[in-house]
């Protein structure tokens, strides 16, 4: 059995490796060992996370995706989650979350019988969808409260907005300009892949704007 652990935190201020020891211990309790880890700092609402995509590209039928909880894997809208679930199912992968007991049976090499296995799969599928929906709802509620706080601060003249780390963004520009990939740039710059993608989009927009101006001159 090949177990791939997926560890995610929302921002670089959070430690995405925090759960590593806990996942190692959890696997050991089920007489298993984690074969490899995929670690990243990105939003669970983002369907195109670099390390998650790499995991799915690497994975083979029968592999297990081990997560601390379903919200580490998904806080995505329903349509995005359903696409991810289909991709996981089509590849013959299984999801195990430490906080979802119905998923733990996937760490067993065999079930008692085919009927029990089918029942467990059906119950687990339903629970996965339910917990993904709860994770998305929690994400939306937190975003709503955050926006309400911003609106209140604006009304009181206290909101200054988020300041960009110009030094980090310049480093990202330099690394991208040198030909590094998004994942490698994020690692070297200690930034999230989403930040790197944002800077890359800015660079592309600037390049297109410059080409437009040159075309107008000529």
Residues with a catalytic annotation lie at 10
d(CA 133, CA 147) in angstroms, rounded, equals 21
Running DSSP on this structure, what letter comes out for residue 12?
T
Locate 34 and state its tokens: 């984690």
Element spanning 73, H or E: helix 70-73
Do residues 37 and 3 lie in contact, with contact meaning Cβ atoms separated by under 8 Å? no
Long-range contacts of 128-132 (CB under 8 A, 24+ apart): 128/70, 128/85, 128/95, 128/97, 128/100, 128/103, 129/81, 129/85, 131/69, 131/70, 131/71, 131/97, 131/100, 132/70, 132/73, 132/74, 132/76, 132/81
d(CA 85, CA 66) in angstroms, rounded, equals 14
Count, in order, helices (H) and strands (E) of the chain: 8, 4
Q: What share of the chain is helix, strand, coil (3-state, %, to 5)?
A: 60, 10, 30
d(CA 211, CA 218) in angstroms, rounded, equals 11
């Amino acid at each position: 059995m090949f177990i791939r652990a997926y560890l995610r935190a929302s921002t670089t201020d959070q430690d995405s490796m925090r759960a590593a020891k806990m996942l190692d211990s959890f696997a050991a309790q089920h007489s298993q060992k984690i074969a490899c880890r995929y670690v990243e700092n990105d939003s669970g609402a983002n369907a195109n996370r670099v390390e998650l995509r790499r995991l799915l590209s690497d994975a083979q039928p029968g592999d297990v995706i081990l997560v601390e909880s379903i919200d580490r894997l998904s806080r995505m809208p329903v349509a995005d989650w359903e696409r991810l679930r289909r991709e996981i199912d089509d590849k013959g992968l299984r999801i195990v979350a430490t906080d979802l007991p119905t998923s733990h049976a996937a760490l067993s090499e065999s079930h008692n019988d085919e009927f029990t296995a089918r029942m467990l799969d059906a119950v687990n599928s339903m629970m996965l969808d339910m917990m993904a929906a709860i994770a998305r709802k929690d994400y939306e509620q937190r975003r709503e409260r955050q926006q309400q706080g911003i609106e209140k601060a604006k009304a009181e003249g206290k909101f200054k907005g988020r300041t960009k780390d110009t030094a980090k963004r310049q480093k990202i520009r330099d690394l991208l300009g040198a030909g590094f990939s998004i994942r490698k740039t994020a690692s070297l710059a200690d930034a999230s892949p989403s930040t790197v993608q944002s800077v890359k989009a800015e660079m592309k927009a600037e390049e297109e704007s410059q080409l437009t101006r040159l075309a107008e001159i000529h």
